[in-house]
Amino acid sequence: MSVADDQDDYDPDADPEMLQPQRLRPQPDQAEGADDPAETGETGPDRLSARTTGEVFDDHLRLAQVRDVDTDLERNYAHDCVILTGRGVYHGHDGVRSLADALAAELPEGRWHYRLRLVEGTMAYLEWSADAGAAAVEDGADSFLIVDGKIATQTIHYTVRAPDGRIVIGPDGRRR
């Protein structure tokens, strides 16, 4: 299991594990020092499907931090993925895009802080927070089932609060 916690000021660009995860955790079927597809541009179907859970998770987090939804969808999400949230069940790339658009509208200038990252087998888990000045999230929690190098299923939970702590948008997506 891979664990990284207490990273309230997490910066994926400064984390060598985010930039070159396989060099720190080589897999049995992977040569030591294999190139990261984010660095080499090798993102063909064969290379993408061969990635480990940790590689997919790290790539997703890096792309989420810079809000590159299109590249994230292409490289990291299965076309038939399912997303479970308090807002409902979302399907496929259109569902992911809808949720990403909602989060961008709720936290337009937000900076994400990855507090806890866990990877075990085909599962990954993330606890996160975000601060956008006029709104913040302190209870973000996502889980991921990653199959054949793609996110097949994800759960998402978060509550948007005003600076005074009042709930602005609940986990169900309703404005208060």
| Residue-wise pLDDT tens digits, 121-169 | 999 999 999 999 899 999 999 999 999 999 999 999 999 999 999 999 9
Tell me the two tokens of residue 136: 């913040």
Residue with the bigger pLDDT between 172 and 3: it is 172
Answer yes or no: is pLDDT of 23 > 90. Answer: no
Residue with the bigger pLDDT between 8 and 153: it is 153
Architecture (CATH level 2) of domain 2-169: Roll (3.10)
pLDDT digits (tens, 9 = 90+) for 69-120: 999 999 999 999 999 999 999 999 999 999 999 999 999 887 889 999 999 9
Tell me the two tokens of residue 167: 């709930």
The answer to whether the CB of 143 falls within 8 A of the CB of 135 is no
Per-residue confidence (pLDDT) for residue 8, from 0 to 100 = 45
Tokens 């956008």 sit on residue: 132
Answer yes or no: is pLDDT of 49 > 90. Answer: no
The answer to whether the CB of 122 falls within 8 A of the CB of 146 is yes
How sure is the predictor about 30, in pLDDT bands with cuts at 50, 70 and 90? Answer: very low
Helix (H, G, I), strand (E, B) or coil at 20: coil
Tell me the two tokens of residue 46: 């064969």
The answer to whether the CB of 159 falls within 8 A of the CB of 86 is no
Backbone angles phi, psi at 87, to 5 degrees: -85, -20
